[in-house]
Amino acid sequence: MGSPHELSDNNRADRARTNTAWDLLLHPPYSPTESPTDYHANRSLKNWQMNKIYDDLDDLVTDVKAWIASKNHVFFTRGIDRLPSKWEAVIEVDSDYAPE
C-alpha cells in the first residue's frame, strides 16, 4: 500500500461540495466568543511579558524563546487537553463567554 492520494478535477468549490459525501459544518475558523488571547499559552506568555520593554525584535524573539524553554510538555499538553471542556462550557451558556 502506498500513501493516500486525493483525486481532484478542479471543480468549483460549491459544485464539489455538493458532490461529496461530507457534511459541511458552517462555523467560523475561530471561536466568536473566546478571544484568541485568552487561550492557555497566550495568557501565560502575556503574563511573562508584562511590564517588559524590548529594544528591538531580536530581544523580543529571545524572550519568547526563553519563555518556551521555561515550559515543559505538560504545560502545553494541559492546555490542549482543556480545549474540549472550554468549548463545552461555551456551548452550555449558549455561546456566551464562558468563565474560567
pLDDT higher than threshold 70 for residue 86: yes
What tens digit of pLDDT does each residue of 10-24 get? 555 555 555 566 666
Question: For 20-41, what is the mean pLDDT?
Answer: 65
The percentage of the chain sitting over the pLDDT mark of 70, rounded to a whole number, equals: 55
**Distance (Å, rounded) from C-alpha 56 to C-alpha 96?**
39
Whether 5 shows a pLDDT value over 50: the answer reads no
DSSP secondary structure letters along 26-45:
---SS-SSS-GGGSHHHHHH
The mean pLDDT value for 67-75 works out to 93
**Average pLDDT value for residue range 55-75:** 94
Q: For residue 2, with 0-12 CB atoms within 10 Å meaning exposed, 13-18 middle and 19 or more buried, which class applies? A: exposed
Is it the case that residue 36 has pLDDT exceeding 70?
no
pTM of the model: 0.53
